[in-house]
Amino acid sequence: MTNRVKTAIIVFPGSNCDRDCARGWQAATGEAADFVWHKESSIPDYDLIIIPGGFSFGDYLRCGAIARYSPVMNEVARQARAGRRVLGICNGFQILTEAHLLPGALLRNRDLLFICGDVYLRVENNRTDFTSAYQQGQTVRYPIAHGEGGYTISPAGLKKLEDDDRIIFRYCDAEGRVAPDSAPNGSLDNIAGIINDEGNILGLMPHPERLAEKALGGEDGRGMFQSIFQAVIGRGGL
């Protein structure tokens, strides 16, 4: 069976959510994804490129700082510029900021702890290719597992994100209230996920792929994959 949405999952040394992403994608869409090794310098065009979580290059120097110079990242940037969708999850988000495909940076968690557990997120903007399956303002539960997830950006950069409605997810409590103490990592303005100006690159710290099947204890993550699938199918490719 040919896949209707061509999907690549980039694998770096130290990636550890690549297979989870493939499984989550398949659970939500019924389609398979290709694994692409980071050394590849020329890859076919994809409708969706996922940069998965993990500890690429051991998180040495800064999370994502070394991975962003892997050969495949030139291809990711090229396809992103062509409007193809790029989704960076956790370490993938860190790599996208280091590569300047998304603005800002991810800092050490406020309390210096690696935090692993489910969090609640408010969907701040469902008018994107990544979130259309959710209701505006819906509260979803995704797991996090990171030590460097505190988002930071200049005051001018933050204002631009807010003005352009590009903060897509904020940490909140179970009732959907966004309060400073509902960001477990001290993230600026409770930011958990943002999108680029053109709307085709999304990065977030929480892991939708880890709660995309009932057997895993929740299905809130399916909506992200279903949104992307629909966005691609609805437009007949790109």
Partner 1 sequence: MFKAIVTVMFKKSVLDPQGAAVERALKSHGRSGLVSVRVGKVIELIMDAPNEAAVEAQAAEWADKLLANPIMENYTVKVEKLS
Cross-strand pairs, 122 = 139, 170
Pick 8 or 195: Cβ nearer partner 1: 195
Q: CB count, 10 Å around CB of 68? A: 21
Pick 57 or 134: Cβ nearer partner 1: 57
Please give the angle made by the CA atoms of 102, 106 and 109, to the nearest 5 degrees. Answer: 160
Please, what is the minimum distance in Å from the beta carbon of residue 96 to partner 1? 13
Q: CB count, 10 Å around CB of 26? A: 17
Residues with a known catalytic role: 90, 207, 209
Please, what is the minimum distance in Å from the beta carbon of residue 11 to partner 1? 21
Pick 77 or 105: Cβ nearer partner 1: 105
Where does residue 112 rank: exposed (0-12), middle (13-18), buried (19+ CB within 10 A)? exposed
Please, what is the minimum distance in Å from the beta carbon of residue 155 to partner 1? 9
Pick 62 or 141: Cβ nearer partner 1: 62
Please, what is the minimum distance in Å from the beta carbon of residue 192 to partner 1? 17
What residues make contact with partner 1 under the rule CB under 8 A?
61-62, 65-66, 69, 97-98, 104-105, 107-112, 150, 152-154, 186
Q: Is 107 helix (H, G, I), strand (E, B) or coil?
A: strand
Task: For residues 54 and 75, give the distance between their C-alpha atoms in angstroms, rounded to a whole number.
Answer: 20
